[in-house]
Chain A
Amino acid sequence: MSEVPELTDQGFEPNPFGPHHDPIGSDPINADEQNPTEQPVLVQLLTPEGERVEHPDYSIDLSAEELQALYRDLALVRRVDVEATALQRQGELGIWASLLGQEAAQIGAGRALLPDDMAFPTYREHGVAWCRGIDPMSIIGLFRGCDSGAWDPIESKFNLYTIVIGAQTLHAVGYAMGMQRDGGQGACLAFFGDGATSQGDVNEAFIFSAVFDAPVVFFCQNNQYAISEPIEKQTRIPLYRRASGFGFPGIRVDGNDVLAVLAVTRRALEAARSGQGPTLIEAYTYRMGAHTTSDDPSRYRLASEMEAWKLKDPIERLKAYLVRSGQADAAFFEAIEKESDELAARVRRETVEMPDPDPASMFDNTYAEITPYLQEQRDTFLTYQAGFSEERSHA
C-alpha cells in the first residue's frame, strides 16, 4: 500500500498554521468584513493606519533597513506602473495591465522567494518581476508589442507572462514535481487572480499538487474583479477555503499589508520546500485601476468603493508605520521620490527609443531548427520586403 494518508476528515487538518474562524454572514465571500465582532481570518501585521499589530501565528521582525527596502520596492514599482499607464495613453504602448493597489501583495510575495525558487506570473506581476531582478524595460517591450517578454525565464527564475488565464498554475506544479524529482532545493510560487480560480486548469493544478505533494505555493491575488465580474460571479465561499476541499491549507492574508504577505508567503514556501506540500494563499486586495488601459471600470463599479480602498493603500500604511516608529525620516522619503522620478524618466526615454523588432525575427524559434517549408516562406518574405524598399527608393 502507498503511504498516502487515509482520506478521512481527521486525516486532514484544514490549516496546520493555526486555527481559523470562518464566520459565515449574509455575504459569505467577504464574511470577515461583514462580521467585525468575529475573530478575523485575515492575517494582518500592519493596519491600514500603519499600526504594527501582532498575530498569533505569524510574526515578522525586520530591521529599519529591511523595512526601508520594502518601501523602496513598493514606491518604485508603483512609479513605473504609473509611467507605463501614461506611456500607453500617449500611444507608446499598445496596452498596459496596471498593478496599482496590488504592490504589497506582489512585493511581499516576491521578497519571500529564495534564489532557488521559481515564480509563475500572470500578466500583472510587474512587482514580482522587479523582485526577481527583471528590468522594467523587458516588460514594457511586451506591452509595446515588440516581443513576448524579453527576459530569460530559466535564468531569472521568473517564467514568461501567461495571458491564458490559469494555464501557468499547472506549469508551476509540473516544475515543482521536477524539483521534487531532481533534488532541487526550491519551491514554486504560482500567481493567479480571483477569476482564474474558476478555470479547470487551476483546479487541476490544485489536485495534481495535492496528489503529488508538490512543493508549490498558490498565490491568488483576490483583487475583487475579473475584468467587470465581481468575485461573487466566481465563488460562494472565501477563496482560501477552497484549499481544504483539495486537502491542503488555505489562508487569507491582507494583500495590502506587505509585512503580512511576506510572513505568510515565507512560511508557506518553507513548508513546500520541506516536503509539506502545497498551500493556497489568498491575498485580499483591490485593483485600484482599470483591468487594463482598454477597460472602463465606471461601467461596472462605484467610485465610492475605490474611495474605501484608498484608505487601505499598501504604500501609505508602510509609510505611516515608518514615520510613526521613527524608522525613516523625511530625507529617506525624498531620496526615494528622487530615485522613482529618475527610474520613470529612464523608462520613458528607453520606451520611446525602443527599436521595432526585425520583421524577419517572426520566423525565429518557431522550431528548434527552421523547417524547409518555413525557410522558404522566410526567403519569400525577405525578397518581397526587399522589392518594396527598392520600389520606395525609386519613387
Chain B
Amino acid sequence: MSTTVTLGKALNMGLRKAMEDDPKVLLMGEDIGKLGGVFRITDGLQKDFGEDRVIDTPLAESGILGTAVGLAMRGFRPVVEIQFDGFVYPAYDQIVCQVAKLHARSRGRLPMSIVIRIPFGGGIGAVEHHSESPEAYFAHTAGLKVVACSNPVDAYWMIQQAIAHPDPIVFFEPKRRYWEKAELDTEAPPEPLFGSRLVREGSQVTVLAYGPMVKTALQAASAAEEEGISVEVLDLRTISPLDMGPVLESVRRTGRCVVVHEAPSNLGLGAELSARITEACFYDLEAPVLRVGGYDTPYPPSKLEEDYLPDLDRVLEAVDRSLAY
C-alpha cells in the first residue's frame, strides 16, 4: 500500500511494525510515552503497546543505555531514543565500553541487539546541544554500526532492519528533515541496510552525503546542471561499515569527489572516505577528494548556523574547485 508520509511518520510506522513483528522489541527514552517524544516519533505507541514496551525512563542517559544492555542480555531488543544529539554523551561510556564491546568480550555469548536512535544535525534554529553531528565518535568505535537515513522510505525500512540486526546500531535521524514527505510503499522490497545508493546520476563529479546533507547535495546537483555541470550524488546510508563498492565505482567514472557532512571536517567521515578513495583509485583521480563540513568550532548560536552549515553554495564551490583542479 502506498501513502504519502513524512520522515517522522515513516519512522513511527517502522517502529510500530517492528514491535508487531517481534514482542521482544522495547522502546526506551525520555518523554517517549504519553508525549510521543519531543519529535512525536513514538506517537501513539505507548497507548497501543503499553507501558512495559514503551518506557518513559528517568532522566538519565547512562541509565537508559546501561539498562538496555541488561535487557539485551535477557533477549530483549531495546530501541532507545536519545532526545537530542548533544545529550548522548552521558551515555557515551555505556555505549563505547559496554554496548560496543560485550559481544567480543563474551565471545559472542552476549548479544547486544540495541538500536540507539539519535535525531542529529542542525538547521532548526535550536539552542546549544540540539544541533550536533556526533557520528564520527561512534563510527570510530569498533563493535558499533552506524547508519543515517535521509528520506521517508529509507526511514521506514532502515529502522526495522536495524532493530532486526544482531549488532548494536547507532541510528541517526536527520531532524531537520523529519517533515519531508515522500511516497511510501510498504509492500515494495527494501534495499539492504548496509548499502549505499546512487540517488542522482552524473558524469563529472561525485558528491557523497548522508542524512540531512543528501537533500542539500541533490539541490547542488540541480543547480550545477543549470550551469552545465553534471554531478552524481550518492546517499551513503551506512556510515560504519562504509559500503565502498558504489562509491569507488562512481569515483572511477567521474575522477572527482566531494564529501559533504554537517560534522566538522577535522577527522570526520570525509577524512576516512578520502583516505579509502585515494588508496583504492589513486590513478583514476583528477583532483584530490574535497570535504565540505562544519567548521572546527563548537556549533554556533543559531543566528550563525546558516554560515556554519554546508549549503548548496558551499557544495557548488567545492564542485567548482574540484573541476578547476
Contacts and interface: CB of A to CB of B under 8 A. Distances in A.
Q: Do A and B come from one complex?
A: yes
A73 to B, nearest CB: 25
Interface string A158-195: 00000111000000000000000000000000000001
Interface string A330-357: 0000000000000000000000000011
B303 A145 contact: yes
Interface in A299-346: 299-300
A232 to B, nearest CB: 10
A284 interface: no
B296 A229 contact: no
A31 B297 CA distance: 49
Interface stretch (A57-65, A101-109, A197-205, A239-247): A197-205
A130 B317 CA distance: 47
| Interface residue tally on A, bucketed by range | 35 or more
A366 B297 contact: yes
B140 interface: no
Contacts of B179: none
A55 interface: no
B81 to A, nearest CB: 13
A142 interface: yes
Measured as residues with beta carbon below 8 angstroms from the partner, the interface class of chain B is: 35 or more
B126 A95 contact: yes
B304 A163 contact: no
Contact of A300 (B35, B127, B297): B35
A274 interface: no
Contact of B300 (A94, A196, A294, A362): A362
B60 interface: yes
A146 to B, nearest CB: 5
Interface in B235-266: 266
B86 A164 contact: yes
Contact of A227 (B35, B86, B296): B35
Contacts of B86: 163-164
Contacts of B89: 164
B49 interface: no
A200 B57 CA distance: 14
B320 to A, nearest CB: 11
A182 B241 CA distance: 52
Contacts of A359: 304, 307
Given A146-B303, A148-B301, A377-B295, A227 B30 contact: yes
B308 to A, nearest CB: 6
Interface string B278-302: 0000000000000000011110111
B250 to A, nearest CB: 27
A226 B34 CA distance: 13
B34 A199 contact: no
Contact of A362 (B57, B125, B126, B297): B297
B188 interface: no
A165 B82 CA distance: 13
A30 interface: no
Contact of B303 (A196, A294, A357): A357
Contacts of A89: none
Contacts of B317: 384
Interface string A356-380: 1101011100100000011001000
B127 A163 contact: yes
Contacts of B127: 94-95, 123, 142-143, 145, 163
A228 B54 CA distance: 14
A10 B245 CA distance: 70
A168 to B, nearest CB: 13
A356 B304 CA distance: 8
A381 interface: yes
B173 interface: no
Contact of B31 (A95, A148, A229, A234): A229
Interface in B192-240: none
A252 interface: no
B63 interface: yes
Contacts of B305: 145
A227 B87 CA distance: 15
Interface in B6-53: 30-31, 33-36, 38
A92 to B, nearest CB: 12
B239 to A, nearest CB: 23
A361 B86 CA distance: 22
A373 B236 CA distance: 28
A195 B129 contact: no
A50 to B, nearest CB: 35
A145 B303 CA distance: 5
Nearest to A366: B297
Contact of A200 (B63, B297, B300): B63
A362 B30 contact: no
Given A94-B125, A143-B127, A377-B296, A198 B58 contact: yes
A22 interface: no
Given A198-B58, A226-B59, A300 B307 contact: no
Given A363-B295, A373-B296, A201 B34 contact: no
Contacts of B313: 388
B90 interface: yes
Q: Which 10 A-B pairs have the closest CB atoms?
A: A145-B302, A228-B35, A198-B58, A195-B59, A362-B300, A359-B307, A145-B303, A198-B60, A300-B34, A198-B59
30 contacts: A94-B126, A94-B302, A95-B127, A147-B301, A148-B301, A163-B129, A164-B86, A164-B87, A164-B89, A164-B90, A164-B129, A196-B59, A198-B58, A198-B63, A200-B63, A226-B30, A227-B35, A228-B33, A234-B58, A234-B59, A300-B35, A357-B301, A359-B307, A361-B304, A362-B307, A363-B295, A366-B298, A374-B297, A384-B317, A385-B307
Given A199-B59, A229-B59, A366-B298, 14 more contacts: A94-B126, A94-B302, A123-B127, A142-B127, A146-B301, A163-B129, A165-B59, A233-B57, A299-B34, A357-B303, A362-B297, A362-B308, A373-B266, A388-B313
Interface of B: 30-31, 33-36, 38, 56-60, 62-63, 86-87, 89-90, 125-129, 266, 295-298, 300-305, 307-308, 313-314, 317
